[in-house]
Amino acid sequence: MTFTRKAPTMARRYDSIRTAAARPVSADASVVERYRVLPFPEEWTGALLALCNAGRDKPLETVPTFRMDQVVQALAPDVLVRPRPNRRRGEGPDFWLYAPEDVPDPLPDAALRGLLGAWLKDLRPEPEFRSLLSETRSSLLENPPRWQEGVPVELLRHERPTGGGTAAPEPRQFQLSTDWLARRILALEPYDFAGGRLRFRAMPRGPMDRGAELVSQALEFEGSRGTEWYSVVLNITLHTVPFDPLPRFHVHSHIRRYATRVSARTGRLYLPFGRRTTVLLRPRVPWLPGAPASDRFAVARFAWSRDGYDWVGGGPAGMLRSMSLTESFPDADAILTDPAGWLADDMRAAVLYSTAMGSHEVGAGLMTDQRSKIVEWALQALPEQLEPVPALVRTRLSGSTPGNPRQEPSKEPAKTEEERRRAEARRSGTAFALRHLPHDISPGELPTLEAQLLWQTPVMRDTAINALVAHLDLKSDGGAPATEEAYDGTVVLEWQSPELTVRLCCRRLSRSLGQDLALPEGTRHSRAAVTTAIRDRRREMTAFLTEEGASSPAPTLALVEIDRAKDFSSPDHDAKFALRLGCADAGVLTQFMAVPKKAKGYNSEKNKEFRAAKAWDDGLRQLGVRVHPEHSLGERLPVGMRYAAVWMVRKNRRSRTRWAGHVPVAVLVTPDPSGEGLARVEGWDDEARAWVPYPVMLLKLTRQCEVPKGLVPAPRDGEDPVARPSWWADMAQQRRATEEWLQRVRRTLRGTPTMLLAHGQNMRSHWTWLQDGTVVADKFRDGHAPSRRLDPDLRLVRVRTARNRETAQWWGVNPDGPNGLAAHLWTDPTADPDKARVFWSTTPKARTFKLSVAADKLAPRVNTKGKVTIDTDKAAWNPGLVEIAVLGCHPGDGDVPEALALAVHQLRQAPDLPDALSLPLPLHLAGLAQEYVLPTQNEDGGDGADAVDSASDADPDTGAAPGVETAPEPEGADWEQLAFGIPAQPTSAEDVKETEPR
C-alpha cells in the first residue's frame, strides 16, 4: 500500500518543549513541615468490630471508616484524611488525620465527639442494637484520641530508590507534599489576566483523592442564552518516572463548568438519572461547633431518591441526619431551583456540569499559551528545594515521521488521481488481509470481501452503498435493482476489481431488532432483567443472520444502521451490544452507523456521507485491513522487527460486592517485507495456544463478555471460607492467571525480533513488573520467579499516557510569540544520552480543532488580524504527552533505546488515519478488542472502532471525549480500580499498594 510523499506545509519549528512539572534539585533536598496529627485509636478496634459484627453471619475483618472519612472531609476540609495502614501488607505506621500546624484546632473535641456518635449510629442503625451502641460509645469515650502537636513530616526526601533506580516516595508524601505545594501557591498574589484576577481556594482531600486541587472563583460568560459560569482548576500531583531517582510534581490546569440552567418545564436544574452530581459548598459559618472558619470548599453529592433528587443519604455519607450543626446543611431543592443564585453568592453552592445535562456555552479546556502562563505563575511558589523540570529537546535521531507518512489532502485536479491511488491501496490491503483469513482460495483466485448492510432507512442504505463504492473505487452499480420494492427482500450487489471481488448483501434490519431491548416497564431494571433481554436479542439476531443458510468459513463484516445510545429509552434499552454479540455468534463482525435524524442541536443527516465512509473504513480495519507505519530507522532496528501488544479488558459484574473479571488480550503485528505498508495482524487464542487472524480473535472474545455468576474470590491462607470474600485474594489469583497467560504468549515470540508493548495504566495492576517501583532495566519477570535476563529476541517498551495526569501537560517553547504545539520525540537533556531509557512523544493537534494556540478563555483578545475575538465559548484541545519507557533491550548487541522509542513514536502515525493515535498502532488494536467484551456507548451513534484511542477523540484536559466534563468525584479514581469497585490509590502513582476497600 504505497503512498507518495508530499512536502509538508511550513510550520514553526520548536526546538524544545516545556512540561508543567517540577522536581527536587537533588536526591538530598529536604523539606520538613510540622502537623497536628491524630492516630486512629487502635485500642478501639475490638469494641468497634464487636459492634459491626453483632448478628452478622460474615464478620468484617477491619473497621469500615470510609464513611467517617467522607464526613470529616466535608465538614472539616482543612483536615487531610489518610488511609489506615495495613500491617499485613507491610505498611509502616501512619496517622489517620493531618492538619497543618498553623490551622487552629481544625477538629475540636466537641466536634469529634459529635462525629463519633453519628458514625456509630451509621455503623449500626438497627433499633435492636441501641443498647450495644450506647455501651460502645461510652467505652470509646473513656479513652478518646488525642491530637499530637508539632509532629515533623519529611515531604521530599525519601529512602533510597528502588532496585531499578526509580524514586520511591513515602506513601503519605503523595498526599501531604502536594497539599503543601498547593498551600504555597495559594499564598501567591492572585493571577492577573486581562479581565481581572484569579483567586484560588483549595478542595478537601481524602484517602480516595490524588494530590491537591485548587479552584478559582466562578467567572461569568454572557452567552447567547444568558450567563454561564466556569472556573480555572489547578491539580498538583506527585509522580515517578522509571529509573529516575527524583519524583515529579505535575501542575495540571483545566476549565471546570457549572450547571445553572433550570428547566422551563420543571423549574429545576436537570440532573441525569442514575448518576451522582457533585456540588461544591462554602458555608457562611463552620458547620461543626467550635471549628475554625476555612477557606476550603466542602464537597457533597446529589443523587436520586424516592422523593426526587436529594443529598446522598441525606448529607455527607448519610451521617448528617444524626448530627447537630451550627448551620443547617443547604436544602437540595433550594439549590436545584436557583443554582445561579447560590453560585453568585460567593459560591455557597456550585453544581458541577456534565455533558449529560445538555449543552454549555463555555468551551472546555485551555490552550497552550494561556496554560503556560498560568503554570509559570504557579511555579513561582516553588521553594529553593524544587526547580522546574528542564525543557525537553528533540531526539538526536532524524526522521520523526514513518517512511510512509500520512498525506495531506490535495487540491484539484491532483485530488482525483490521489483518491484513485488511495482506493487502489485500500483494495490491495483488503486483499492482503483476506488472504490471511481461514478460507479456501486457490493460488490464482481473487479473494472475496463478504459484507452485509443491515439498514433501517433507505437514505442511509443508499449512502452506505455509495460510500463503499467510493472507498474502494468500484466500477459499475454492482447490479443494483431498478425499483425500491426490490429492497423489500435480500439484494446482493457484486463488483469485480483487479485485486478482489466485493459482494454486499443488503437486508432491512427487521423484527424490531434495532429497537429498545424488551425490559419490564419502569425506570429501574435489575441486572438480571438486562442480561436476559440482551441474551434474547442476541439469539434473535443470530437467527436473523443465519435463517437463509448462507455462511462463510471466514469472518465477514456487517454494517448495521442503529439509533444513537441517547435515542433509546434508557441506557439499559440500548440494543447495540446485543446485536454485536448476535452477529459474532454468526461469525460476523459489526460496525455501527447512526440512523440519520434531525433534533435540537443535532443533525446527523448533513454528515451522513462522512459517517458512512468512516464506518466502512473502521469495519474493514476489524478485518485486519491496516496501513502499517513503516519505520525510517534503517539498520538501527533489527531486521524483521515485529510488534506485540498486551491489553487487559476489565469486566465488572454490578452487584454489592462488585467482583470483576479480566480478559487479557494480545495482538501481533508482522510487517510484510514488501515495504508497501502491508502487515499481518493476529490475535492470541489462548484456547488454541496459537496466534489466529485478528478478526477470528475478536469473534472468540464475545464468549467472554459475561462475568461468571459463580465468580467468588478465593479465601486467604487460613481464612474462614464463609467469611467475607477478600478482594486481595481475588486480585492475587487474577495476577497469577495473567502472568501464566503472559508466559504462554511470550514463548511464542522467540526466534524473531519482537518489540512487546504494554500500556502502563492499563496493564500494571495485573502485570506488576511494569510498575515503576518494581521494574529493573533489561530484566523481565512474568511470574513468581525472580527477574531474569530478557529473551534475546525480545524488547519491552511501556507506554504511559496522560490518564490520571501521569504525564504532564506541555507546550512548545516560542521565545518570539505565543507558546504552541510541536510534534516530535523528545529527550531529557540532563540525562546521560548513552543511558537514557525514557522519552516523550507528541503529535500534531487534531484536524477537527482549529482554535489558535494563543486563545484566551478568560478575556477577549486581539487576533492576528487585529480584530477582537472571544474564545471562551470554544473548546480547547491539546495532544497529550506520551511517555515511552524502554524497559528492556540489548545494548550490548547493538540496541539503541532512543531508536526503539522513535519507532514507537512512528507507530502512533498510522498513514490511513486522519490524525495521530494516542497509542502506538499495535496497542491501539489490542485496546479496540475490548469492544467485543464490553458494551460501549458512543455519542455519535457509531461504536468508535477507530476513535477509542485516537488523539482526536481524547481530551487530555478531562481524560474524556471532547466536551465531556469530569467532576471531582472520579478525579481521584483510576478507571481500572473503579471497574473493580475499590477506592483509588492516593499514595502511589504506580498502584504499588492499593487502599483497602472499606
pLDDT tens-digit readout, 285-308: 888 887 888 889 988 888 877 667
Residue 728's H or E segment, with its range, is helix 727-747
pLDDT of res. 940: 36
| Cell numbers placing 247 | 519524583
Residue 277's H or E segment, with its range, is strand 277-281
- C-alpha closest to that of 120 among 61, 41, 64: 64
Backbone angles phi, psi at 226, to 5 degrees: 120, -160
Low-confidence ranges of the chain (pLDDT < 70): 1-11, 86-91, 306-307, 313-323, 408-415, 440, 522-525, 549-551, 599-603, 652-660, 706-727, 935-998
- C-alpha closest to that of 878 among 402, 138, 370, 437: 370
Contacts of 713 (CB under 8 A, 6+ apart): 659, 725, 726, 727, 729, 730, 733
Q: Which long-range contacts (CB under 8 A, 24 or more apart) does 687-690 make?
A: 689/744, 690/748
pLDDT of res. 984: 27
Residue reference for cell 485548587: 214
Residues paired with 491 in a beta bridge? 506
Region for residue 243 given its phi and psi (left: phi exceeds 0; alpha: psi -120 to 50; beta: otherwise): left
Furthest-apart CA atoms within the chain: distance in Å: 91
Q: How far apart are CA 818 and CA 638, in angstroms?
A: 41
**Contact of 220 with 229, CB cutoff 8 Å:** yes
pLDDT of res. 814: 94
Backbone angles phi, psi at 33, to 5 degrees: -115, 150
**Contact of 838 with 830, CB cutoff 8 Å:** no
Contacts of 606 (CB under 8 A, 6+ apart): none
**Contact of 738 with 686, CB cutoff 8 Å:** no
Helix axes 527-546, 576-585, angle to 10 degrees: 50
What is the per-residue DSSP string for 591-654?
EEEEPP-EETTEESSTTHHHHHHHHHHHHHHHTT---------GGGS-TT-EEEEEEEEEEE--
Q: How far apart are CA 444 and CA 834, in angstroms?
A: 52
| Cell numbers placing 894 | 547493538
E strands, 738-778, in order: 754-759
4-28 burial by CB neighbour count: b if 16+ within 10 A, else e?
eeeeeeeeeebebbbbbbbbbeeee
Q: How far apart are CA 886 and CA 880, in angstroms?
A: 19
What is the per-residue DSSP string for 663-683?
EEEEEEEEE-TTSSS-EEEEE
Peptide bond into 283 cis (omega under 30): no
Beta pairing, strands 861-862 & 810-812: unpaired
* Sign of the Cα pseudo-torsion (351, 355, 356, 361, in order): positive
DSSP single-letter state for residue 714: P
**Contact of 277 with 301, CB cutoff 8 Å:** yes
DSSP single-letter state for residue 796: E
pLDDT of res. 87: 63
Q: How far apart are CA 556 and CA 451, in angstroms?
A: 6
Q: How far apart are CA 273 and CA 262, in angstroms?
A: 16
pTM, two decimal places: 0.89
| Cell numbers placing 603 | 443533525
Region for residue 704 given its phi and psi (left: phi exceeds 0; alpha: psi -120 to 50; beta: otherwise): alpha
Helix axes 694-701, 608-622, angle to 10 degrees: 100
